[in-house]
């Protein structure tokens, strides 16, 4: 599991809806509240094997809270290493970033977000945390041929994007986890234009609701469940989800779209 969102109740509900009772690993990309405050909801009533964090222990208040929650649950906290490769079942991944800490340009914790390239069922997924422009540029210098089928768009689709990274990755699906009517104006119109110019299908949780990527590299699809009951259709996933972007997901109602 990568990040927990800000709301323990929402993430707990999502995992219950998915039938998840065991979480081998929680990877926290960085310590901002909207990425870690949901942690108690994941720990509630589940076996969690490990919590892995990045290089920058900031802000200190959130770091202490994560450490306290983990200690109370008896879950070890470890630090991810650049180049680390791991596998759980049929899911494998590699930690691409941070190779270094960038200071003086943008948010230090955001630019130190853990970036993971994961693969399951032949589908490559690039998970980018809240990476801003400087770190995106540095990541691309380090990984000049980086490609992925699914891109978790950096920093909720903010305007701080390096277009060269998006054009290099060439995602078929671009997922934007973002709160409805958020005060930051995410996602930025310029980012949406950029993503669509690459040919990516753009999905966002504020308008599309809960999103699950399903299928395989040969037949990639998505299941969405709008927060509006009028738009939801009752269908089951055509196979287990590859990845889910949601704030409180329910697996049964959904609209199936294939062919990306």
CA 248 centroid distance within chain: 14
Alpha-carbon distances of 247 from 7, 41, 113, 171, 256, rounded to whole Å: 8, 12, 20, 23, 19
65/188 Cα distance (integer angstroms): 31
- What is d(CA 25, CA 49) in angstroms, rounded to the nearest whole number? 6
Dihedral sign (CA 138, 205, 149, 114): positive
Please, what is the average pLDDT of the chain?
A: 88
DSSP secondary structure, 46-59, as one string: SEE--EEE-S---S
Mean pLDDT computed over 170-194: 90
Task: Give the pair of three-digit tokens for residue 97.
Answer: 């970033």
> Domain extents for the chain?
1-80, 89-260
Contact 166, 131 (CB under 8 A): no
Among all chains, which residue has been given the structure tokens 């999905």?
203
Reply yes or no on whether the pLDDT at 226 is more than 80: no
Q: What's the whole-model pTM score? A: 0.88
pLDDT in tens, 78-123: 999 999 999 999 999 999 999 999 999 999 999 999 999 999 999 9
Q: Tens of pLDDT along 26-58? A: 999 999 999 999 999 999 999 999 999 999 999
pLDDT in tens, 68-84: 999 999 999 999 999 99
210 φ, ψ (degrees, to nearest 5) = -75, 140
């Amino acid at each position: 599991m990568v990040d927990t969102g800000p709301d323990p109740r929402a993430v707990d509900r999502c995992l219950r809806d998915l039938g998840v009772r065991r979480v081998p690993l929680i990877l926290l990309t960085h310590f901002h509240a909207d990425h870690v405050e949901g942690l108690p909801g994941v720990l509630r009533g589940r076996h969690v094997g490990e919590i892995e964090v990045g290089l920058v222990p900031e802000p200190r208040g959130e770091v202490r809270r994560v450490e306290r929650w983990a200690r109370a649950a008896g879950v070890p906290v470890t630090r991810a290493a650049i180049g680390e490769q791991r596998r759980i079942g049929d899911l494998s991944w590699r930690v691409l970033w941070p190779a270094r800490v960038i200071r003086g340009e943008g948010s230090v914790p955001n630019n130190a977000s853990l970036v993971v390239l994961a693969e399951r069922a032949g589908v490559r997924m690039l998970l980018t945390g809240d990476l801003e422009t400087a770190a995106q540029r540095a990541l691309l210098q380090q990984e000049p041929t980086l490609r992925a089928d699914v891109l978790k768009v950096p920093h909720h689709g903010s305007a701080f994007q390096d277009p060269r990274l998006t054009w290099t990755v060439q995602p078929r699906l671009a997922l934007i986890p973002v709160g409805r009517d958020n005060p930051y104006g995410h996602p930025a119109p310029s980012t949406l234009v950029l993503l669509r110019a690459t040919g990516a299908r753009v999905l966002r949780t504020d308008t599309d609701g809960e999103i699950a990527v399903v299928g395989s590299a040969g037949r990639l699809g998505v299941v969405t469940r709008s927060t509006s009951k009028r738009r939801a259709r009752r269908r089951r996933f055509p196979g287990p989800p590859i990845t889910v972007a949601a704030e409180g997901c329910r697996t049964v109602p959904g609209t199936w779209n294939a062919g990306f």
